[in-house]
Amino acid sequence: MKILLIDDEAFALKLLSHQLGSLGFPDATPCERAEDALALLSGGDDHPDLIFCDLQMPGMDGIEFVRHLVGAGFTGDLVLVSGEDQRLLQAVQKLAQSHRLNVVGALHKPVSTEQLRQVMKSRLAPAAAPRQVARTTYGPGELRQAIANGELVNYYQPQVNIASGAVTGVEALVRWKHSRDGLVFPDQFIATAEEHGLIDELADVVLTAALHQARLWQDLGLTLHMSVNISMDNLVLLDFPDLVKAAVANAGISMNMLVLEVTESRLMKDPRAALDILTRLRMRKVGLSIDDFGTGHSSLNQLRDIPFDELKLDRGFVHNACNNPALRAIVEASIGMARQLGMKVVAEGVENEDDWNYLRQTPCDLAQGYFIARPMPAEDIAEWMAAWEMRCPDLLQAKG
Ligand code: G
Ligand code: G
Ligand code: MN
């Protein structure tokens, strides 16, 4: 394995070489200037597998070097190393990732051997993070047909109370059971539905199935709130609240069991209609959730204008917040704001025990994410609930 080290400080280079040596990687090539490293890269065809690069350097700096790496078609792994503050380091990491470079670490100087061991460990494990693959999208004809044929099904992802572990509800997430391509995810067809006037039909199918499912669970004695995602494009026709009311009545459940999650991923076509519709729904006790809060347009304007009673913190802020002061500040400020507005807070993207334990120290109400459960077919929920109850005693022990 070829390793390249770039740092303008000779001492830092020596230290890093030594640490890598002690971990069983003795042959790293040191460079004191990024320009020299680039010359090496453009020289032959045996590109390094792994590059450690400092950010602050007097000639070509780390950011410029990253840009040249992309130009040189580098496909190996990159570790960023810097004595600069954590947020700067993370910004460069984001930048490099947006260039599709495979960033396997961002280390603060002085680098500890333990941090280095972590980086090299993931490096030896076979491809943990799958690289982005091109995904198919589908045309309107095929989608229209699929809706008519009943090929859209809902998966359900549980939401649990962080303090008590109680399962309070589920979010319905639509999937397309495609006869040729298998299970197709919404990011491959929601935009098509929005662009080709199919989103009302889609919402109707999803909502009807979700409400029917909520009723089945209710009959089994499971009181679960049902969250359904709707598109801004569903908030154009003023009779939408009546459709919702009829669907809820038809399923035989009460209005306050339904939560509608709204994200403004596209520009609101008609803000006045949306406000009219959402306010009438809220007046009839339907829950309104602002989804992906803090991203795109899902933000303060909406919070000011629309009577949301629930805020869903985007997973981009939640996951790993315990290790990142900027994320923590955003999470905690958002929770504080929501509570002042009398809103419930749901944290999305709770992916591991660290995320869970961190949230337990905040006044966040509900959690949702892979750590708790992946989205699953309705028939798997009961079995999952039994397993969750077994896990709960451990997860609810006060930590730290
Ligand atoms: O698991 P997941 O890939 O299901 O969802 C991806 C995105 O698709 C999420 O942002 C979610 O809000 C959106 N989505 C999932 N189901 C629906 C739906 O029924 N209607 C709309 N409009 N969006 C949905
Ligand atoms: O935008 P919306 O909140 O509706 O997004 C739901 C999406 O998030 C779905 O695609 C769902 O599969 C995905 N999701 C749910 N839990 C997690 C998680 O813990 N981590 C990640 N990365 N995605 C999650
Ligand atoms: Mn959602």
Angstrom distance (rounded) from CA 15 to CA 288: 55
Expressed in angstroms and rounded, the spacing between residue 183 Cα and the centre of ligand 1 is 14
Amino acid in position 278: L
The predicted-structure confidence for 36-67, as pLDDT tens digits, reads as follows: 999 988 877 678 999 999 999 999 999 999 99
Which of 159, 187, 230 for a ligand 1 pocket mutation test, highest count of atoms within 8 Å of Cβ?
Answer: 187
Q: What are phi and psi for residue 108, nearest 5 degrees?
A: -90, 135
Mean pLDDT of 342-347: 97
How many of the other CB atoms lie within 10 Å of CB of 24?
A: 8
At residue 239, the 3 state secondary structure works out as coil
**CB within 8 Å of 60: residues ≥ 6 apart:** 33, 34, 35, 38, 68
The ligand whose atoms approach the alpha carbon of 372 most closely is: 2
Count the alpha carbons within 13 Å of 225 in the hemisphere toward its beta carbon: 23
Residue 264's pLDDT is 73
β-pairing, 182-184 with 287-293? unpaired
Residue 234's pLDDT is 95
Mean pLDDT of 301-316: 92
Q: How confident is the model at residue 297 (pLDDT cuts 50, 70, 90)?
A: low
Residue 7, pLDDT above cutoff 60: yes
| Count of positions (residues) in the chain | 400
Residue 45's pLDDT is 66
Angstrom distance (rounded) from CA 362 to CA 331: 9
Residue 384's pLDDT is 98
From its phi and psi, is residue 92 left (phi > 0), alpha (psi between -120 and 50) or beta?
alpha
Residue 123's pLDDT is 66
The ligand whose atoms approach the alpha carbon of 295 most closely is: 2
Residue 186 Cβ < 6 Å to ligand 1:
yes
β-pairing, 167-178 with 152-161? antiparallel
The predicted-structure confidence for 207-254, as pLDDT tens digits, reads as follows: 999 999 999 999 999 999 999 999 999 999 999 999 999 999 999 999
Residue 310 Cβ < 6 Å to ligand 2:
no
Residue 301's pLDDT is 82
β-pairing, 152-161 with 376-377? antiparallel
Residue 314 Cβ < 6 Å to ligand 2:
no
Residue 173 Cβ < 6 Å to ligand 2:
yes
Residue 229 Cβ < 6 Å to ligand 1:
yes
Angstrom distance (rounded) from CA 348 to CA 319: 8
The predicted-structure confidence for 352-386, as pLDDT tens digits, reads as follows: 999 999 999 999 999 999 999 999 999 999 999 99
How many of the other CB atoms lie within 10 Å of CB of 61?
A: 16
Residue 292 Cβ < 6 Å to ligand 2:
yes
Expressed in angstroms and rounded, the spacing between residue 210 Cα and the centre of ligand 3 is 14
Q: 0.85 cut: is pTM over it?
A: no
Residue 184 Cβ < 6 Å to ligand 1:
no
Which of 319, 348, 366, 368 for a ligand 2 pocket mutation test, highest count of atoms within 8 Å of Cβ?
Answer: 348
Q: What is the mean pLDDT of the chain?
A: 92
Angstrom distance (rounded) from CA 130 to CA 118: 19
Angstrom distance (rounded) from CA 5 to CA 23: 15
Expressed in angstroms and rounded, the spacing between residue 353 Cα and the centre of ligand 3 is 22
The ligand whose atoms approach the alpha carbon of 205 most closely is: 1
